[in-house]
Chains A and B, each alone.
Chain A
Amino acid sequence: MFQQHYLYVLAGVLLLIVSVMSLRDRANPRRLFTGLFWGLYGLIFLLGDWAGHWAAAYGGAEGTRTLNIAVGVLVVLMALIAGCGGVRLGSYHQRSEKARAESALRLGNRLFLPALAIPVVTVLGVLAFNNIPGLAATLFGANSPPTLNTLFSMLVGCVVGLVMALRMTRDSALQSVQETRRLLDAIGWAFILPQILATLGLLFTSAGVGSAISHLTQEYLAVNHRLVAVAVYAIGMALLTMVMGNAFAAFPIVTAGIGIPILVMQQGGNPAVMAAIGMFSGYCGTLMTPMAANFNIVPAALLELPDRNAVIKAQIPTGLALLLVNIFLLYFLMFL
């Protein structure tokens, strides 16, 4: 049966090949650090689960703890390499602009097909998992995480796309790994940022940041005026989302602090309206923060923009205008 673990092994092998290619790339001024960075990352993917079983079997809870501490040290090391500019660009056997233009002319619109295969196959896969009862259980076993449906569909989409692209371009599979390396190096440190931010969120929770914030909101933001309370709720959602990078993390805190006691209990507003527009106010915050790295920072890196905040800057006017609209929508729709 297919397990999430296999995806990690695949990613690990891919990253280790990328690491070896980086180490041998003399065009990269920091090839040792670049190779070490992708290599450590690959090891965490490849050996993480295996080492986890091993540590638990031989060392019990203490063994698991030691392994986690070791991974923590590796993460700090990777952050130091990435943060100090250790991941640089190398050379990837690129073709000239003229050669690219020629094959674009020769292959024509067929070039779009493998790229479109990825989203189309992914969506078909997700729809199949949602509509065919028992499909997920047969493929993945009982109690598989629901995210595996999407990830597996995406893997199939990427394999289909890759086979089509390889046949069409008659390039080698190794060159496709070379291309992966080209794009990974272009993304650079931003590649690990979403994961490190998610880790920070978990650390925030165990350090009690959430309870400290909800204590503050309950203590200082309890206001009685209806429009002010509505504005505080919507703006609070946006601001806290900007800080936490995730509207899901902000929603329970702001809703328990202001939404439920003031807007619903005291003012008698409709909780469904509050939840819907409150969450969207949080999304306005998501548009305006570097903490939502996978939406804002990674795309800027992926599009090779010199300003890593360029996507955020493009989104701020829409985010602010929509937040203002949300305040008025909440004010008028919640008390109908």
Chain B
Amino acid sequence: MQQAVNLWPLMGIAAIVIGFLLRFNAVLVVIVAGIITGLAAQMPVAAILEKLGSGFMSTRTLPLILLLPLAVIGLLERHGLKERAQAFIATIHSATAGRLLTVYLLARELTAALGLTSLGGHPQMVRPMLAPMTEGAATARHGELPEATRHRLRAMAAATDNIGLFFGEDIFVAFGAIIFMHNFMLESAGIQTEPLHIALWGIPTAVCAFLIHAFRLNRLDRQLRRELSALNSAALTRKGGH
């Protein structure tokens, strides 16, 4: 006898998608989706709250890696870390925003592939150093940047850290994901694979990830040059005309 599968809990997923599309506050969307999911699975309210509570307690390690570096980073920012990062990158004359991020992407991906995933990260690397250096490199080349361009460069710095990490760590043979995939296929279907092979077959994608993103970073440089020189010359003509 096959047991009927209850499809109602999928309403929680629908709630998430709708909530995010309508741009409600993400924390509220997630909590409401959790409650809807629980109710759809016919869990009593007390049981839903119990799951929320025990889940929250058992995931307390998650915010620690974000919380711990803040004191150091904040203190250094107070004494001009960002300003220093921008001044430092301005002394390297060949540096552009795109080139800097490409070098970082390569370094991040290679070190992650060796298992050194903690050598980057948003609180300890991107906010205090990578993002200000990216902005600094563009400023040194093109002059004062419009606010929107600054935001775009910062977002690209965060994206570059993610992409380097994701597509590097998964070709490190001792990474949890490799062992996880190996065990899952063995236990669920008796398929025997070599963890080293799973890691090696990830390399083509890892190389393509670097090429695609490096291409986009190169395009970013060209776009910056075009947009900002247009902006600068417009400012010059305005000045000259009056």
Main SS at interface, chain B? helix
Confirm or deny: B90 has a beta carbon within 8 angstroms of a beta carbon on chain A: no
CB distance from A214 to the nearest CB of B (A): 9
Contacts of B139 in A (CB 8 A): none
Within 8 Å by CB of B56, from A71, A248, A275, lies A71
Please judge, given known A-B contacts A73-B49, A112-B129, whether A264 and B191 are in contact too, CB under 8 Å: yes
Confirm or deny: B140 has a beta carbon within 8 angstroms of a beta carbon on chain A: no
Please judge, given known A-B contacts A65-B50, A305-B154, A321-B212, whether A11 and B64 are in contact too, CB under 8 Å: yes
Please judge, given known A-B contacts A196-B27, A209-B12, whether A183 and B73 are in contact too, CB under 8 Å: yes
Confirm or deny: A107 has a beta carbon within 8 angstroms of a beta carbon on chain B: yes
Stretch binding the partner chain, chosen from A25-33, A135-143, A153-161, A221-229: A153-161
Within 8 Å by CB of B17, from A76, A108, A243, A283, lies A243
Stretch binding the partner chain, chosen from B36-44, B92-100, B232-240: B36-44
Contacts of A114 in B (CB 8 A): 72, 75-76
A interface size (C-beta, 8 A): 146
Confirm or deny: B116 has a beta carbon within 8 angstroms of a beta carbon on chain A: yes
CB of A207 within 8 A of CB of B41, answer: yes
CB distance from A150 to the nearest CB of B (A): 7
Please judge, given known A-B contacts A199-B56, A248-B177, A315-B159, whether A256 and B118 are in contact too, CB under 8 Å: no
Confirm or deny: A83 has a beta carbon within 8 angstroms of a beta carbon on chain B: yes
CB of A260 within 8 A of CB of B28, answer: no
CB distance from A137 to the nearest CB of B (A): 19
CB of B152 within 8 A of CB of A165, answer: no
CB of A275 within 8 A of CB of B193, answer: yes
- A207-235 CB mask vs B (1 if < 8 Å, else 0) is 11101110110000000000000000000
Chain A residues 18 to 53 lying within 8 A of chain B, measured CB to CB, are 44-45, 48, 52
Which A residue's beta carbon lies closest to that of B116?
A: A123
Contacts of A48 in B (CB 8 A): 57, 60
CB of B202 within 8 A of CB of A295, answer: no
CB distance from A264 to the nearest CB of B (A): 7
CB of A119 within 8 A of CB of B119, answer: yes
Please give the residue numbers on chain B whose beta carbons come within 8 Å of chain A beta carbons, in ascending order. 5-7, 9-10, 12-13, 16-17, 20, 25-28, 30-31, 33-34, 37-38, 40-41, 43, 46, 48-81, 83-85, 87-88, 116, 118-129, 131, 151-152, 154-159, 161-163, 166-167, 170, 177, 180-182, 184-185, 188-189, 191, 193-194, 197-202, 204-206, 208-209, 212-213, 216
Within 8 Å by CB of B75, from A14, A176, A310, lies A176
CB of B72 within 8 A of CB of A150, answer: no
Please judge, given known A-B contacts A65-B50, A198-B55, A243-B17, whether A207 and B71 are in contact too, CB under 8 Å: no
CB of A311 within 8 A of CB of B60, answer: no
CB of A303 within 8 A of CB of B28, answer: no
Give complex CA distance A227, B119 in Å.
39
Confirm or deny: A7 has a beta carbon within 8 angstroms of a beta carbon on chain B: yes
CB of A314 within 8 A of CB of B74, answer: no
CB of B61 within 8 A of CB of A76, answer: no
Contacts of B206 in A (CB 8 A): 280
Which B residue's beta carbon lies closest to that of A146?
A: B176
In the A-B complex, the 5 residue pairs with the closest CB atoms: A179-B74, A104-B80, A72-B49, A71-B53, A199-B55
Tell me which of B77, B157, B188 has the highest count of chain A C-beta atoms within 10 A of its own C-beta: B77
Contacts of B56 in A (CB 8 A): 44, 71-72, 75, 195-196, 199
